[in-house]
Amino acid sequence: MTSGDPWKPFQDIINDQWQEARRFKESAAGVVIGHLAPDVPEEILHASGAFPVSIEGASSAVSMAQAHIPGYTCSHVMGTLDLGLSGKLDIIDALVIPYVCDSTRNLSHLWKRLFPDKPSELLRLPKRLEFEGARDYLITEYRRLYEWACGLTGNLPDTERLAESLKLYEKSRALLRRAFLKHRSSPDVWTVTLLRSLFVSASRSDRSKHLEWMKALPWDCPENTESDLAAVYLKGKVWDPPQLSGIMDELGMCLAEDETAAGHRAVMVEGVTNGDPFEALADRSLATIPYTGYHVEPTGLVNGFLERVKKSQASGVILLNPKFCEAAAFDTPDFVNALKNESIPNLVLETSARSFSVGQLKLRLEAFREMLGMEM
């Protein structure tokens, strides 16, 4: 890439994920708070004066964590623990773990014991989203998280400052939504890999800078309505392995939708920026497509998914399941049956950094691509 390449800032962060966190620490000597997917409101951490940075343990090689946690733990949790044990998370001062399953709760207990100098907080997301008290509960949790983060940075909680952070992040989300639309209309230029670089780097960057970088992208490139790429609906937790985007590009695929936890799913709901920011954050979270670890009435869950797939006009669906994720394993058969009943091609990929082969993954995707019946 040349220095004039507008995609370079995003690619740089993909290549060095702590680059911006390091800069923040060096310039402001501030607090860096890591957070795991899904659904940790970054604006709360930002408003506390901290630098929020997302951590994806899923694609890390595991060598030390198995001494502390059962081998049948998903790569997301196992990888995060290993990153901590191997010193690769030394840059972070604290960690927020969203409580979505037993593995995340176990990680929280282990983290406190193994890293007493790096405070952690378990964000207890409501499990029953349809419960009438879910909204008030979530608002209370968000207030608690804000007070905890401010306790680390030494700033006083300030609703006005949170409202400002909310505005900044909403602007960023709006541009990420536009980027997704651009990928759909010009997938040859705005490839899966480039689109992914925007989403991944957003949660590792100073968000104001990221917003400015995004403005310089080739928004006016022509639409390609004749594209013969196969549009795929992707559902899962994280893009694991990260090579997946490159393989999709190589095999002539694009995204009809990205329903992964921190993908397009995380930005697709337009939040409000007036009124109480805690309420606005809770409303946005409750309107977001429920993550697999939440409890939702099963028929509605499957029908909602099927409706979204049809609306996206995807040629097929990839279910990207982390190996040993009970929640995903529980939901997947119902999703697959529903897709089969509608004759929608689908592929379930169970991935894990511990038993992973790019070649094998590519082979399965090649076969799936052929099934979609379009020219490559």
Residues in contact with ligand SF4 by CB under 6 A are: 74, 76-77, 100-101, 103-104, 237, 293, 322, 325, 327-328
Closest distance between ligand SF4 and the C-beta of residue 338, in Å?
21
What is the distance between the terminal CA atoms of the chain, rounded to a whole angstrom? 26
Q: Of the two residues 103 and 205, which places its CB atom closer to ligand SF4 in the complex?
A: 103
Q: Of the two residues 153 and 321, which places its CB atom closer to ligand SF4 in the complex?
A: 321
Cis-peptide, bond into residue 333, ω within 30° of zero: no
Closest distance between ligand SF4 and the C-beta of residue 57, in Å?
9
Residue 49 zone, left/alpha/beta (φ > 0; ψ -120 to 50; rest): left
Closest distance between ligand SF4 and the C-beta of residue 367, in Å?
25
Closest distance between ligand SF4 and the C-beta of residue 128, in Å?
16
Q: Of the two residues 34 and 293, which places its CB atom closer to ligand SF4 in the complex?
A: 293
Closest CA to 57 of 290, 213, 242: 242
Closest distance between ligand SF4 and the C-beta of residue 254, in Å?
25
- DSSP alpha helices (H): ranges in 92-158? 102-114, 134-153
Q: Of the two residues 76 and 196, which places its CB atom closer to ligand SF4 in the complex?
A: 76
- Residue 185's alpha-carbon distances to 21, 45, 191, 231, 307, in angstroms, are 33, 34, 11, 11, 21
Helices (H) and strands (E) in the chain, counts: 14, 8
Q: Of the two residues 62 and 175, which places its CB atom closer to ligand SF4 in the complex?
A: 62
Q: Contact at 8 Å (CB) between 68 and 114? A: yes
Q: Which structure tokens are listed for 169? A: 């992040």
- Residue 31's alpha-carbon distances to 50, 90, 132, 154, 236, in angstroms, are 5, 12, 36, 10, 31
Instruction: State how far the Cα of 231 lies from the Cα of 256, in Å rounded to an integer.
Output: 5
Closest distance between ligand SF4 and the C-beta of residue 47, in Å?
26
Closest distance between ligand SF4 and the C-beta of residue 65, in Å?
13
Q: Of the two residues 33 and 37, which places its CB atom closer to ligand SF4 in the complex?
A: 37
Instruction: State how far the Cα of 198 lies from the Cα of 173, in Å rounded to an integer.
Output: 11
Q: Of the two residues 76 and 265, which places its CB atom closer to ligand SF4 in the complex?
A: 76
Closest CA to 252 of 222, 227, 225: 227
Closest distance between ligand SF4 and the C-beta of residue 345, in Å?
24
Q: What are phi and psi of 48, to 5 degrees?
A: -75, -10
Q: Of the two residues 191 and 352, which places its CB atom closer to ligand SF4 in the complex?
A: 352
Q: Which structure tokens are listed for 278? A: 């805690």
